Structure 1
């Protein structure tokens, strides 16, 4: 019995010590996040595909704003904090990664009536102009190629934070990005106008320094 009690005591002590160390580590990690954008490192970054997601939302017959998402995003960012006009952004979106809460709809959206993923497997955004709009915000205009059509699109970018990712030790900078497109402009016409033409985009974008 004494041995069992001793073992339980040791296990409890180890657990508390581990939790304490974790708490200290978490506090240190939080304090390491750079909230002041002027202190962010300039340079070349690549998208972190595991922590970048694109969410789209469209009116569904006027009843709901229905959402889905794309994943496995790729791309790059040439970041110049002190002269935003020199920054460059590229985003590559694999259409096959599209997901909704309906398996049937997810499959249909990949068909020729919608995104036609077999014929147009990737959507591309390439920035052409970046303009600072606030201390932590900028408008990034570029060319979006989707469904075989290229149109100019403006994305609204808000800085979130930067620092060392405690898991992989990569220097990471993150942004929240919003924008709107009209799907009809890109030849995706199914169920217009009952299913909305205007599509809202909301992007959580994480970039790791090369």
Structure 2
């Protein structure tokens, strides 16, 4: 399944009467990007996810016509790492399934509603537990990449997941003043392995995941 990520950046200038005006909020922003792909900026220690700036996007085939997207946010978790020992890194991530975000409110109700006539819910049900990913191994595969394996607990089931992780930047957050390290990761799972089998043959079993994560040093 092809995965396309589109990023839209807000314009740095507003044009008014032919004059370029810099918005006040941007005028107060730092002149240089705080984070950069520089491993020497990463220090050993314990980190916690920034839930306001960490997202998991999921993508699944819909009827063979196109792909549908959704998001999970308010994600929490921890990371313990030493840049001198990448293989020893460990992390644990918790995803609140109930806070799923989709474009259609009707679809959100469908994802989280109870089963019909007392049956099992089509997808997660109205009060789903947290999805939990716990790393079991980290293998550096390049200067800025690693292969991370672990166990995903979701919907009352547990199974292995392997992610391709890329180091995206490190530095000091200009607002929180905390050392921050960011990663992007990709994985593909078969939703039926976690008991989510509604609409097989109509909705794809394979779900592509794209994770954008920011960890702050504690």
Q: Normalized against structure 1, the TM-score is what?
A: 0.85
Per-residue deviation, 1:33:
2.6
State how far apart, in whole Å, the 2-side matches of 1:54 and 1:33 are.
Answer: 21
Per-residue CA deviations over 1:59-87 (Å, capped at 9, x if unaligned) read 00111110001011000011122211100
Per-residue deviation, 1:22:
3.8
Per-residue CA deviations over 1:107-164 (Å, capped at 9, x if unaligned) read 111132101252x321000000000010000011000001100000001110111111
Runs of at least 5 residues in structure 2 that lack an aligned partner in the other structure:
1-20, 114-120
Query: 3-state SS of the aligned residue for 2:30?
Result: helix
Matched, 1:188 2:196: yes
Contact 1:95 1:117 in 2 (8 A): no
Match of 2:176 in 1: 168
Match of 1:66 in 2: 68
Query: 3-state SS of the aligned residue for 1:26?
Result: coil
State how far apart, in whole Å, the 2-side matches of 1:172 and 1:48 are.
Answer: 9
Per-residue deviation, 1:34:
3.6
- Cα RMSD (Å) of the superposition? 2.0
Q: 1:80 to 1:193 in 2, by over 3 A?
A: farther
Map residues 1-210 of structure 1 onto 2, 5 A cutoff: 22=27, 26-27=30-31, 29-30=32-33, 32-111=34-113, 112-118=121-127, 120-210=128-218
Runs of at least 5 residues in structure 1 that lack an aligned partner in the other structure:
1-15
Contact 1:38 1:82 in 2 (8 A): no
State how far apart, in whole Å, the 2-side matches of 1:184 and 1:127 are.
Answer: 21
State how far apart, in whole Å, the 2-side matches of 1:195 and 1:92 are.
Answer: 26
Q: Which has the higher helix share?
A: 1
State how far apart, in whole Å, the 1-side matches of 2:41 and 2:212 are.
Answer: 21
Per-residue deviation, 1:169:
1.0
State how far apart, in whole Å, the 2-side matches of 1:154 and 1:117 are.
Answer: 28
Q: Which has the larger radius of gyration?
A: 1
Q: Normalized against structure 2, the TM-score is what?
A: 0.82
